[in-house]
């Protein structure tokens, strides 16, 4: 399988049009957006990590494992 990386300048009309065309083909094209400068370099969490942390907080508060409820 061949994979290439492309940088598209989406500040131009042509760049936005190219991006829209690529988004129409999610099975063959994966788009990765850069992190905003405000959070670049900081630890980010997946949705599962956030839920696990919430489960831990609730379990400690209610003194039982809320995952099993």
Q: What residue spans define the domains of the chain?
A: 1-33, 37-69
- pLDDT for the residue numbered 7: 92
| The overall pTM is greater than 0.75 | no
Q: What is the pLDDT of residues 29-51, one digit of tens each?
A: 999 888 888 888 888 899 999 99
Residue 1 has pLDDT above 80, yes or no: no
- pLDDT for the residue numbered 33: 85
CB 36 within 8 Å of CB 28 = no
Q: What is the pLDDT of residues 7-20, one digit of tens each?
A: 999 999 999 999 99
């Amino acid at each position: 399988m061949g994979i290439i990386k492309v940088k598209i300048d989406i500040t131009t009309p042509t760049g936005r049009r190219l991006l829209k065309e690529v988004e129409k083909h999610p099975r063959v094209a994966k788009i990765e957006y850069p992190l905003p400068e405000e959070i670049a370099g900081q630890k980010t969490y997946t949705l599962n990590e956030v839920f696990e942390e919430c489960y831990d907080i609730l379990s400690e508060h209610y003194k039982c494992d809320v995952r099993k409820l």
